[in-house]
Each structure stands twice: as structure tokens, then as C-alpha cells.
Amino acid sequence: MPNLTLMKENLLTFFYFINKLYQDRSILWTMIKRDLRARFIGSFFGFSWSVIDPLTQVLIYGVVFGLFFKSQPDPVFGTNSYILYLVCGILPWQFFAQSVTASTGSIVTSANLVKKAVGFPSEILPVIKVMSNLISHLIGMLILILIIAIFHGASFYIPFIFVYMLPTLMFAIGIGWMVAGLNVYLRDVQQVMHLVLMAGFFFTPIFYSPSAVPEPILTLLSLNPMFHAVIGYRYALLTGRMLPLGSLAYLLITSFFIFGLGGIFFRKLKPGFAEVL
């Protein structure tokens, strides 16, 4: 029996934060631009890092699992190319994982703003990190779609990636709020998240097919919203079909719920930030 008050509060928080982010959009945008610049300007390859990074990962996993282990994608996904299969999973996962990693330290590194800037909306700090990762994700996706169009054939379903991108974004922000807030009090969170994300990478069907997972464990793995998001991306990009309705509903509901929960959590922790930092 779901807790009704919590759900109501969750819903209210959800709209509160959407509204707040809208109100702070100008400062949000300024800081996203600044974050992107900080990430890429000054480095020799600049923006191409957002491509080189996942590409290297794809190469490594492609060589190890495709070449050494001779992994084959499940035929339901509609491709024989293990590399294509891999890259369609790695990109959404990386978007999520890097967003969460970057969010974790976002409050601590901006201690000066949190402690001295009167009225500074510290909830935007994790959001900035997620948004700036969203932009590199979009660039990566654009290139991927071009490659798919050339080597695989584009389908009418490609725009549906946004149906999966939005909940991934919400999920990342929700988790980002939680870990960023917790990390202020316990710096161990950074280390813990590193391990959690590593586990997440292996327990999400990125380099293997879900059909390779035995049944009771598969149900367990499918509790993770990213499980559905990754499959959804593949269906849209490679297969040309929608996620099953139940799966889609689960993805949307859980990620929006986590977004709201992360918001509540962050707001509970926020008043103590200035004191602890």
C-alpha cells in the first residue's frame, strides 16, 4: 500500500522544483555554459572529449566481449553488430553515471556560494552538472544517429529516444540531489557512489543481452529504471519499436518518483549545508 501523503508531497515537490528551476533558468543557463566551458575549454581536444570518451569505452568492451568472448547481441534488437549494440547501451548509461558522479561533489565544491551568496538556490548545483552532461550526451547521440543512418538504417522510431531520455534525466537529477546533499555531511558518499555506479554498469544490460540473465535475477535487475532506459534506447535506435507498455510505465513512474524524492531529501538537508561546509 503506497503511502498517500508521501506521494502527495512528492507530487507537490515535483511541481515546486519544476517551477523553481524555471524561475532560476537564467542563472541555471549561465552556469551550465560555464560548466561546459570549464570541462572542455583549456583541454586540447575540447568538445571532442565527449565523443572520444565513450568511443574508447566502446572499443575496449567491443574488443574484450565482442572479439575475445564472441558475444552476440540478442536478435530481438534487430542488429548483428555487437559494437552498435554496445554503443546504444553505453551512451545512455554514461550520461546517467557521469551526471551522478559530477553531482556528488557539486555542493561541496561550491561551498563559497552556499555559505555566502544570500538567496543562492543551491538545488541548481547538481542540476547544472546533469544538464551539462545532457548536452554532451545530445552531441554523442547526434553522431550515433548519423552512424546508424549510414550503416544500419534509420527508422521512424528514432525520435522516441526522447521518451527514454527524459526519465533518464529525471532519474539522474533525483539521484544527483540525494548524493550531493548527503556528500555534504559524509564525504564517503563520493567513494560509495564510485562503487555503486560500477556495480550499476555491470547489472544493467549494456554489454550483454537481458536474455542472457537467468530469470529470478532478471526480475531483480529490472527494478533499476536504467535497465528499461537502456533497452528503450536500443529499441528506438536499432529495432524500431516501443518498450512494452508496462516497462515504459515503470520507467516513467519510478524516475519521476525518484526526482521528487530526491527533491524532498535535498530540501531536508539543505538548511544545514552552511553549517557543515
CA distance 230 to 167: 11
Calculate the CA dihedral of residues 77, 79, 80, 84 and round it to 10 degrees: -100
Q: What is the CA radius of gyration of the chain?
A: 19
Contact pick of 121, 139, 158, 248 for other proteins (by CB under 8 A): 121
Q: Kindly tell me which of 33 and 152 has the beta carbon lying closer to other proteins.
A: 33
Residue 8 CB, shortest distance to other proteins, in Å, is 8
Residue 118 as a binder of other proteins (CB under 8 A): the answer is yes
Which of 217, 212, 213, 209 is closest to 238 using CA atoms?
209
Q: Kindly tell me which of 159 and 272 has the beta carbon lying closer to other proteins.
A: 272
125 in Cβ contact with 110 (< 8 Å): yes
Residue 9 as a binder of other proteins (CB under 8 A): the answer is yes
Q: Kindly tell me which of 7 and 142 has the beta carbon lying closer to other proteins.
A: 7
DSSP state of 205: S
With cell 527508422, the residue in question is 155
Backbone phi, psi, residue 22, to 5°: -65, -45
Count of all residues that appear for the chain in the document: 277
| Cell digits of residue 144 | 550515433
Binding mask 223-252 vs other proteins (x if CB under 8 A, - otherwise)? ------------------------------
Contact pick of 48, 80, 112, 211 for other proteins (by CB under 8 A): 112
Calculate the CA dihedral of residues 118, 123, 124, 126 and round it to 10 degrees: 130
Residue 65 as a binder of other proteins (CB under 8 A): the answer is no
Q: Kindly tell me which of 33 and 241 has the beta carbon lying closer to other proteins.
A: 33
Q: Which of residues 13-32 bind other proteins (CB under 8 A)?
A: 13, 16, 23-24, 26-27, 30-31
Which residues in this chain contact other proteins in the complex, by CB under 8 A?
Answer: 8-9, 12-13, 16, 23-24, 26-27, 30-31, 34, 38, 110, 112-121, 186, 267, 270-272, 274-275
